[in-house]
Structures are given as structure tokens and as C-alpha cells.
Amino acid sequence: MSDLLVRSFGSAVRSLRESRGWSQEQLAEHADLNRSYVGEVERGRAIASLVTIDKLSQALGVSSATLLGHCDELSSASALKGLPLAAIAC
């Protein structure tokens, strides 16, 4: 799995968590995960398993597909950063 994808997934989790006004501890509680592990996932330092993705998506009230789709949007936006405008417009 690419580093960009792992970091984007973590950013997607953090964004959805923050939109609910939850701390990492609250998300960990709802997802039945360790708080430090949630932090590692959010920072892109841990690769979430399919089981963990399912737990996080259920806790956040979204489907796994929605969570991964949100991740894909962030990944695509990050990939575009630094490209010349002409390259993006083509």
C-alpha cells in the first residue's frame, strides 16, 4: 500500500472524527480499538486491516466504501499538489 494512500486514509478518519466533535479516545471507544492505535492510523503510521476499516466506518456512521472514497478524494487532491497547472488542466 502506498504511503500516500495510508496517510490519506488517516486524514479521512481524522476529518470524519473531528466533524463529529470526537476525541481519539471517543472514536477508539466507539470502534473498540486502542486510542494510541487510532492515533497511529490517523498519522499514517499504521496500516488499517479490513476489520479495522469496518470498525472505524461503523463507529463513524459511514460505510467502508464511503470512508475509503473519502480517502481516495484526499489522495487524489494530494497527488495534484505541486503539479504545474498546465498538467492538471490536460
**pLDDT of 22:** 98
**pLDDT of 23:** 98
Angstrom CA distances, 81 to 21, 28, 30, 85, stand at 28, 31, 34, 10
61, burial (CB in 10 Å: exposed 0-12, middle 13-18, buried 19+): exposed
pLDDT, tens digit, for every residue of 11-25? 999 999 999 999 999
Residue whose C-alpha cell is 505541486: 82
Homologous superfamily of 3-89 in CATH?
lambda repressor-like DNA-binding domains (1.10.260.40)
pLDDT, tens digit, for every residue of 50-61? 999 999 999 999
pTM above 0.75, yes or no: yes
From first to last of its 90 residues, what are the pLDDT tens digits of the chain?
578 889 999 999 999 999 999 999 999 999 999 999 999 999 999 999 999 999 999 999 999 999 988 766 555 554 445 544 444 333
